[in-house]
Amino acid sequence: MSSATPVPTPAWRPLIHFTPRQHWINDPNGLVQVGKVYHLFYQHNPQGTEHANMSWGHATSRDLLRWQEHDVALPGREAHAIFSGSAVVDTHNTSGLRQRGDASPPVVALYTGAGHSWQAQYLAYSRDDGETWHFGPDHPVLDEGRADFRDPKVFWHGPSEQWVGAVVYPDERQVALYGSPNLHVWTSLSVFGPAGEAGGIWEVPDLFALPDETGREHWVLKVDVFAGGPQGGTGAQYFVGDFDGAVFTPHGPARWADYGKDFYAAITWSGTPGRCLWTAWQSSWDYATRLPTHPWRGALTLARELGLRRGPDGELWLTQVPLRELENLRDHHLPLHLTPDTPATLPLAPDHAFDLSLSLTPQTVLTVRVTSAAGDELALRADLAHGTLTLERPARGTLAEVPGFGGTHTAPLPLTQGGGLDLRLVLDTSSAELFAGGGLLALSDLYFPEAVPELLHLAVESGEATGQAWTLRGAGGEPGA
């Protein structure tokens, strides 16, 4: 008995978020800047919209918004599937993979090879700035004989003069750290965890340095959880602490990197001087395989600029804001001043995304509603009087059959004593990314409108809000050099 051919859903195709032309996508992999070009790799099934035939898809951009999709970089092998990993530019050729006559240093990827009952870390490389790729030796470069051992995130640690790799032991809820002089031979450094949320398996670790507001450097360890997230199901937690080249020591509690339902497997970009960025898969394993998009299934979040700042409790918190290049897509502009007597209703253009930035006075209660002919498609409420943020997304039509999709997601607002709050909301055709308190809070949710959204309604029940709104041009394809 054959199933009906899926109907294309172009109205749900994001305008400013990355999706492949067709087929399945999940975790971002190998995020690396080579010269002026950003290389995005990602878990990809080049044959269909299910999680199968895992390979590394490949796209490039010069602004992290307009992408050119390429042929699959690392296709699944007969011996193993190509699971998640990372890539670095081996500037000093520690790997020995640069050959005489090469115009630039090699770009080296470490990825998890997944067999039927085992996982180990393998090497691949490019000698032409990430354009074409070659598999390294047939044997793994890091193998502990484990059934589950995956997601290597590699970076150069200058003080200890070595490559450091963070790899996860999923079932043990641990992140194992390894060191290497050459990306081929790895030795164990330490093991972190269990800690924080450990109800579900751990996946996709990352370890990176960030300065605080005074310029002092700290380290952030991020690891995803398969269960126990802030809205149930998957989520991403992080710890702030120190790293001495061998051991990561947290100095505070675990916190959620994102309070939405659709933020998973975030990893930082390698080779981005002067800034720290990451990108995540914008979905949840609770329903990722059931999403009704066609001919693609899955998307990535916008790249986000990362920082560290003291939160309301005086501890260091991770901050996230949309990449600054997003401002280059701003089109029509509208200033806003909202009071209980002056709500606003803005038209939503079907071929544009939307960027809303507001500053709320203390005790303000704000509502933002996206509506279509079918009614409310998304409803946001920021209640500074009670310190809560809620986002409701209905599950009508085909989404009504997707368990766990519809509902209300709640997050605590990062309020200071007697202070107001800034709020930024980026709406695309099928996603909402919200940032509050200078990025101390992030919340990412998919939503699939039953009908084309037509209006954005803004109102305050108390207090006031001022700011501005912009329509955003679709990112389209790769810009010129």
* Side chain identity, residue 250: P
Spatial contact of 356 and 346, defined as CB atoms under 8 Å apart: no
Q: For residue 298, what are its two tokens?
A: 């899955």
The string over 258-272, giving b where at least 16 C-beta atoms fall within 10 Å of a residue's C-beta and e elsewhere, is bbbbbbbbbbbbbbb
CATH number at residue 127: 2.115.10.20
Q: What is the band of 2 on the pLDDT scale with cuts at 50, 70, 90? A: very low
More confident residue, 351 or 59: 59
Query: pLDDT tens, 114-130?
Result: 999 999 999 999 999 99
> pLDDT value at position 477?
53
Is 478 a domain residue?
Answer: no
Q: What is the band of 4 on the pLDDT scale with cuts at 50, 70, 90? A: confident
Spatial contact of 325 and 65, defined as CB atoms under 8 Å apart: yes
Are 456 and 352 in the same domain? Answer: yes
- To the query of whether residue 212 is one of the catalytic residues in this protein, the response is no
Spatial contact of 48 and 24, defined as CB atoms under 8 Å apart: yes
Are 270 and 415 in the same domain? Answer: no
Spatial contact of 155 and 88, defined as CB atoms under 8 Å apart: yes
* Structural domain ending residue among the three candidates 322, 345, 361: 322
Are 306 and 335 in the same domain? Answer: no
Question: Domain range for residue 29?
Answer: 14-322
Query: pLDDT tens, 13-49?
Result: 999 999 999 999 999 999 999 999 999 999 999 999 9
* Side chain identity, residue 149: F
Query: pLDDT tens, 319-347?
Result: 999 999 999 999 999 999 999 999 999 99
* Structural domain ending residue among the three candidates 278, 301, 322: 322
Work out whether strand 296-297 and strand 23-34 pair parallel, antiparallel, or are unpaired.
parallel
Are 222 and 99 in the same domain? Answer: yes
CB atoms within 10 A of CB 376: 15
Q: Is the pLDDT score of 1 beyond 70? A: no
Are 289 and 385 in the same domain? Answer: no
d(CA 174, CA 270): 23
Q: For residue 35, what are its two tokens?
A: 């010269």
What torsion, rounded to 10 degrees, do the Cα atoms 330, 332, 337, 339 define?
-100
Is 103 a domain residue?
Answer: yes
Spatial contact of 239 and 247, defined as CB atoms under 8 Å apart: no
d(CA 149, CA 379): 40
Q: What is the band of 417 on the pLDDT scale with cuts at 50, 70, 90? A: confident
d(CA 209, CA 466): 35
> pLDDT value at position 418?
84
CA distances from 442 to 229, 260, 309 (A): 14, 7, 14
Total structural domains within the chain: 2
Spatial contact of 64 and 37, defined as CB atoms under 8 Å apart: no
d(CA 230, CA 444): 12
Are 185 and 233 in the same domain? Answer: yes
Share of residues in the chain with pLDDT > 90 (%): 95
Spatial contact of 357 and 379, defined as CB atoms under 8 Å apart: no
> pLDDT value at position 350?
86
Is 254 a domain residue?
Answer: yes
Q: Is the pLDDT score of 161 beyond 80? A: yes
Are 254 and 202 in the same domain? Answer: yes
List the Cα angle 301/303/305 in 5-degree steps: 135
DSSP structure class, residue 414: -
Are 219 and 337 in the same domain? Answer: no
Q: What is the band of 476 on the pLDDT scale with cuts at 50, 70, 90? A: confident
Smallest CA-to-CA distance from 16 within 368, 446, 430 is with 430
Are 363 and 315 in the same domain? Answer: no
Spatial contact of 15 and 353, defined as CB atoms under 8 Å apart: yes
Per-residue pLDDT, averaged over 180-206, amounts to 98
* Side chain identity, residue 221: L
Query: pLDDT tens, 247-298?
Result: 999 999 999 999 999 999 999 999 999 999 999 999 999 999 999 999 999 9
CB under 8 Å to 295, separation ≥6 — which residues? 6, 8, 21, 22, 23, 49
Is 481 a domain residue?
Answer: no
Per-residue pLDDT, averaged over 81-96, amounts to 98
Is 431 a domain residue?
Answer: yes
CA distances from 377 to 260, 283, 354, 400, 436 (A): 16, 18, 15, 13, 21
Spatial contact of 351 and 452, defined as CB atoms under 8 Å apart: no
Spatial contact of 133 and 125, defined as CB atoms under 8 Å apart: yes
Of the listed 27, 129, 262, 286, which one is catalytic?
Answer: 27
Lowest mean pLDDT among 105-109, 280-284, 399-403: 399-403
Are 119 and 249 in the same domain? Answer: yes
CB atoms within 10 A of CB 350: 10
Q: What is the band of 3 on the pLDDT scale with cuts at 50, 70, 90? A: low
Is 5 a domain residue?
Answer: no
Look at the block and give the residue holding tokens 């640069």: 98
d(CA 219, CA 160): 15
Per-residue pLDDT, averaged over 360-388, amounts to 97
Is 9 a domain residue?
Answer: no
Q: Is the pLDDT score of 481 beyond 60? A: no
Is 81 a domain residue?
Answer: yes
d(CA 158, CA 165): 14
* Structural domain ending residue among the three candidates 266, 295, 322: 322
CB under 8 Å to 395, separation ≥6 — which residues? 402, 405, 406, 407
Q: Is the pLDDT score of 245 beyond 70? A: yes
Look at the block and give the residue holding tokens 């790895």: 186
Are 141 and 197 in the same domain? Answer: yes
CATH number at residue 418: 2.60.120.560
What's the chain's average pLDDT?
96
Are 240 and 220 in the same domain? Answer: yes
Q: Which SS3 state, helix, strand or coil, does residue 453 take?
A: coil
d(CA 294, CA 5): 10
